[in-house]
Chain A
């Protein structure tokens, strides 16, 4: 049971570099999400995709873009990384938006 798989697990970037975080789920879920988790801040929603073909902004979307490539995959892109984007990023999925979300193991991203 893979569930929600995120790659990479760790990444160090320099300011201004770009990268894409990958997320895939094998539970046939319709909804997918990207969160960031910072000390003392709790999990904050960056972007979400209610269903295949749709994406929308969450609480903290600035500096990020997303692509719902198909039902399984939802990627998060940092176009020009900034130190303020140093965080742990979690991808999650759920059957529909009002059902419990299942999380991946996270990507720890450091931007120097």
Chain B
């Protein structure tokens, strides 16, 4: 059974701290790994990773994938209160035809002022 596990489940940090969120997976025929940020409503897309070792960066957020060890990390530097959200990791997997996403349960991040 395809599985995506995120850790920690929740995290509280102070503004300005750096955080690392983890995502490990066990799936059949990995295609890609995606990170989403979910505030009050819709998950919003952050990154899509397909190759090992290539860092994707957007402002203070960055992410990298290790396909050998089957995990990804999401780093947030100089955290701000606006970074408070649930961060979702999802893996696209499957053989031919339609690839579906398998989601982890998320990491709830709270950044205190």
Contacts and interface: CB of A to CB of B under 8 A. Distances in A.
Nearest to A41: B105
Interface residues of B, number: 22
Given A43-B103, A58-B100, A98 B32 contact: yes
Interface in B28-71: 31-32, 34, 36, 41-45, 48
Contacts of B48: 100
8 contacts: A40-B105, A42-B88, A42-B103, A44-B103, A45-B101, A98-B32, A101-B45, A106-B42
Given A90-B43, A105-B41, A106-B41, A42 B99 contact: no
- What does DSSP make chain A's interface, helix, strand, loop or mixed? loop
Interface of A: 4, 40-45, 48, 50, 56, 58-59, 90, 97-98, 100-106
